């Protein structure tokens, strides 16, 4: 795989995005940074106290202490004071950092989730569930950690570097000059490291998402895998993905090791040079033994702080790559306004009055497709109609349902809900979804109680209303046999119920919503003939004041419909 270097300007642009995401937490980050600086101050003062203690004990005639003490007790008290306060500040700072990190993770995850869930359906469908979960969890955590890690660390380490350098320079400018030798080479290596490492980080994240998506699909389709004897195939496929992930990880690691080893080698040479110069000054009688110890401590802080800044580079690159993936979600085209005052007024006025639903020369083409899925389709139905949409697979039935629900928007023409006299109408859009209830072809239940699943569409529904909806959908008889009735637990994806039972539960949930228009997408395909007949009879009675639209290939559905249309990509022909 060829690695493309990331332009520095693009990385800087993404760093600005991270800064924008963290802007709301600026006061907390400043507090954390200030406390970290205080901890460093105490560390520097502790080093000076150590110098005074050593010179006091050795009674060195070359002692030149910034902190003067009159007695050994004073030195010891100062050492204990600074050590205790440094520990206390460090503990408090760690607590503050964790609070900030948790707050950022939860709020950024929620905000990113909101952005994704409110984005245009056609664009969100490009992402796999595993990839999205990886972005919500791993990438958000990486960016959140960068807010409390990278910015405060850079500031505090620069402060530590400056403080240590100033003290060394006060005692010996030559020592200070030697200590600065590593900086030019480190900066050159870091620039190269940044530009090269970014694509490695992105490729690793993509591979991680691919593996998570693979695992998610495998777990959700365990029954299918076992039934077709695909367990071994999928186990082998996982190992292939792991081998690719390992290869990328080791390439990334090899590159990092080479660059950081060069920096470490130069740093080590300079360390020996500083130590040698300090020993020479001690031998020449220019400094005291305490000052030599101080030099060693301060150079350790100096090189450590600079190394920390350099070592932030991989973390920074991961944060940039993670931020790009989050930004990709946040920049998805949004649904039109989900709440619209005009829609609210129209709904309040006509939710219990006769309405009509119509397409007027509607065309639609999916993005990146060359042919229209629908071309100049016209269609109309009104309250009291039971409508069957039939036709070959892939001819546009599901596309029509998506247009009804405003998951997609027509390329040409318009879709609208009108009063029966045609004097008032409103264009279909995200805000008009409240007119619809929907039974999807793939029945969807969440891991919770059955009652909670039902109340998702009507939070204030009473137990009696839930039970009545279940009875209409011919689901009450098997639900009441469950240990806790409507409060029985439903496994992820409806585990614990058969496909036919799941269809009836989905129908019951759609009926409970009590919307003026109900869409049934192959909603009886898993039912036996007798159960389907009873469900359709109940729906015919229940839906007298509704518009009920069925996509179906089953002749039994046509028996309860007063209208039927053959759907093709170029027409919607009445056949009943």
- pLDDT tens, residue by residue, 153-179: 778 888 888 888 888 888 888 888 877
pLDDT at position 199, please?
74
CATH of 8-330, one of 3.40.50.720, 1.10.286.10, 1.20.1560.10, 3.40.1440.10: 1.20.1560.10
Task: Decide if 549 contacts 355 (C-beta within 8 A).
Answer: no
Q: How far apart, in whole angstroms, are the C-alpha atoms of residue 542 and residue 520?
A: 14
- Under the banding of pLDDT at 50, 70 and 90, the label for residue 186 is low
pLDDT at position 183, please?
66
pLDDT at position 223, please?
67
| Tokens, residue 262 | 């060069």
How would you classify residue 63: left for phi > 0, otherwise alpha for psi between -120 and 50, otherwise beta?
beta
Residue ranges per structural domain of the chain: 8-330, 341-574
Average pLDDT over residues 324-337: 84
- Taking residue 215's Cβ as centre, other Cβ atoms within 10 Å add up to 15
Say whether pLDDT at 535 is over 80: yes
The half-sphere exposure of 138 on its side-chain side, counting CA atoms within 13 A, is 21
Buried/exposed 412-442: b ≥16 CB within 10 Å, e otherwise: ebebbbbbeeeeeebbbbbbbbbbbbbbbee
Task: Report pLDDT digits (tens) over 472-501.
Answer: 999 999 999 998 999 998 877 777 788 899
Candidate from 5-9, 16-20, 511-515 with smallest mean pLDDT: 5-9
Mean pLDDT value across the chain: 82
Higher pLDDT, 217 or 62: 217
Task: Report pLDDT digits (tens) over 511-532.
Answer: 999 999 999 999 988 899 999 9
DSSP state of 569: S
Say whether pLDDT at 98 is over 60: yes
Task: Decide if 199 contacts 5 (C-beta within 8 A).
Answer: yes
Q: What are residue 172's phi and psi, to 5 degrees?
A: -155, 100
Going from the C-alpha of 204 to that of each of 247, 252, 302, 422, 567, the distances in angstroms are 10, 9, 33, 57, 45
The answer to whether the 8-330 and 341-574 domains have the same CATH topology is no
- Under the banding of pLDDT at 50, 70 and 90, the label for residue 71 is low
Q: What percent of the chain has pLDDT over 90?
A: 27
- Under the banding of pLDDT at 50, 70 and 90, the label for residue 123 is confident
Higher pLDDT, 193 or 401: 401
| Tokens, residue 146 | 């960068």
Higher pLDDT, 181 or 118: 118
Average pLDDT over residues 206-230: 78
Average pLDDT over residues 359-376: 87
Candidate from 11-25, 172-186, 233-247, 313-327 with smallest mean pLDDT: 11-25
CATH 3.40.50.300 is held by the domain 341-574: yes
| Tokens, residue 562 | 């007063």
pLDDT at position 438, please?
93
Say whether pLDDT at 452 is over 80: yes
Say whether pLDDT at 268 is over 80: no
Q: How far apart, in whole angstroms, are the C-alpha atoms of residue 439 and residue 536?
A: 14
CA angle 131, 396, 404 (to 5 degrees): 75
Say whether pLDDT at 231 is over 50: yes
Candidate from 150-159, 304-313, 373-382, 543-552 with smallest mean pLDDT: 304-313
E-assigned strand segments in 440-511: 448-449, 489-490
pLDDT at position 402, please?
92
Nearest to 443 by CA among 507, 486, 385, 399: 507
Higher pLDDT, 131 or 309: 131
Say whether pLDDT at 445 is over 80: yes
Candidate from 113-122, 230-239, 317-326, 400-409 with smallest mean pLDDT: 317-326
Task: Decide if 366 contacts 122 (C-beta within 8 A).
Answer: yes
Q: What are residue 347's phi and psi, to 5 degrees?
A: -65, -50
Residue 387 in 3-state DSSP?
strand
- Quick one: how far is CA 404 from the chain centroid? 29
- Quick one: how far is CA 331 from the chain centroid? 13
- Under the banding of pLDDT at 50, 70 and 90, the label for residue 439 is very high
Q: How far apart, in whole angstroms, are the C-alpha atoms of residue 231 and residue 221?
A: 11
Task: Decide if 472 contacts 542 (C-beta within 8 A).
Answer: yes
Q: What are residue 353's phi and psi, to 5 degrees?
A: -120, 160
pLDDT at position 562, please?
93
pLDDT at position 64, please?
66
- Under the banding of pLDDT at 50, 70 and 90, the label for residue 277 is confident
Say whether pLDDT at 61 is over 60: no
Average pLDDT over residues 462-480: 95
pLDDT at position 509, please?
94
pLDDT at position 4, please?
43
Task: Report pLDDT digits (tens) over 405-438.
Answer: 999 999 899 999 999 888 899 999 999 999 999 9
| Tokens, residue 87 | 């520990």
pTM to 2 decimal places: 0.73
Q: How far apart, in whole angstroms, are the C-alpha atoms of residue 194 and residue 257?
A: 14
């Amino acid at each position: 795989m060829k690695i493309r270097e990331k332009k520095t300007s693009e990385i800087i642009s993404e760093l600005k995005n991270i800064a924008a995401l963290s802007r709301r937490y600026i006061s907390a980050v400043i507090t954390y940074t200030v406390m970290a600086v205080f901890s460093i101050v105490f560390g520097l003062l502790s080093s000076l106290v150590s110098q005074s203690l050593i010179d006091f004990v050795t009674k060195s005639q070359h002692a030149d202490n910034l902190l003067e003490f009159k007695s050994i007790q004073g030195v010891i008290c100062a050492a204990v004071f600074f050590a205790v306060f440094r520990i206390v500040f460090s503990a408090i700072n760690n607590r503050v950092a964790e609070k900030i990190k948790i707050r950022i993770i939860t709020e950024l995850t929620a905000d990113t989730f909101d952005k994704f869930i409110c984005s245009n359906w056609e664009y969100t469908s490009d992402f796999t569930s595993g990839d999205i979960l990886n972005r919500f969890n791993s990438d958000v955590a990486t960016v959140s950690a960068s807010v409390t890690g990278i910015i405060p660390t850079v500031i505090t380490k620069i402060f530590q570097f400056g403080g240590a350098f100033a003290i060394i320079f006060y005692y010996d400018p030559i020592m200070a000059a030697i200590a600065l030798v590593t900086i030019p080479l480190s900066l050159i290596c870091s620039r190269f490291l940044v530009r090269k490492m970014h694509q490695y980080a992105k490729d690793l994240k993509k591979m991680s998402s691919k593996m998570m998506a693979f695992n998610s699909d495998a777990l959700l389709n365990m029954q299918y895998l076992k039934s077709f004897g695909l367990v071994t195939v999928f186990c082998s496929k996982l190992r292939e993905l792991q081998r690719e992930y390992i290869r990328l990880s080791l390439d990334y690691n090899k590159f990092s090791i080479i660059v950081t080893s060069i920096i470490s080698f130069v740093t080590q040479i300079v360390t020996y040079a500083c130590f040698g110069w300090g020993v020479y000054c001690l031998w020449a009688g220019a400094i005291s033994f305490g000052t030599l110890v101080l030099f060693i401590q301060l150079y350790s802080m100096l090189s450590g702080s600079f190394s920390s800044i350099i070592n932030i580079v991989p973390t920074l690159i991961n944060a940039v790559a993670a931020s790009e993936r989050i930004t990709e979600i946040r920049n998805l085209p949004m649904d039109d306004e989900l709440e619209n005052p005009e829609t609210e007024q129209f709904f309040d006025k006509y939710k219990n009055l006769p309405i009509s639903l119509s397409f007027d020369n509607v065309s639609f083409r999916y993005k990146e497709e060359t042919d229209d899925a629908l071309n100049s389709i016209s269609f109309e139905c009104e309250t009291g109609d039971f409508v069957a949409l039939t036709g070959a697979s892939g001819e546009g039935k599901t596309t029509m349902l998506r247009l009804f629900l405003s998951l997609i928007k027509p390329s040409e023409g318009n879709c609208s809900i009108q009063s029966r006299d045609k004097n008032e109408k409103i264009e279909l859009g995200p805000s008009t979804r409240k007119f619809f209830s929907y039974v999807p072809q793939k029945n969807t239940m969440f891991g919770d109680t059955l009652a909670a699943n039902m109340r998702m569409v009507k939070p204030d529904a009473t137990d009696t209303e839930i039970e009545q909806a279940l009875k209409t959908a011919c689901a009450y008889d098997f639900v009441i046999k469950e240990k806790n009735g409507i409060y029985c637990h439903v496994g992820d994806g409806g585990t614990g119920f058969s496909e036919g039972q799941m269809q009836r539960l989905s129908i019951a949930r759609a009926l409970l919503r009590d919307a003026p228009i109900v869409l049934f997408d192959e909603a009886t395909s898993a039912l036996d003939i007798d159960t389907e007949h009873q469900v359709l009879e109940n729906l015919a009675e229940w839906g007298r004041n509704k518009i009920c639209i069925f996509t179906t290939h089953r002749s039994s559905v046509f028996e309860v419909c007063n209208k039927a249309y053959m759907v093709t990509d170029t027409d919607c022909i009445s056949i009943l």
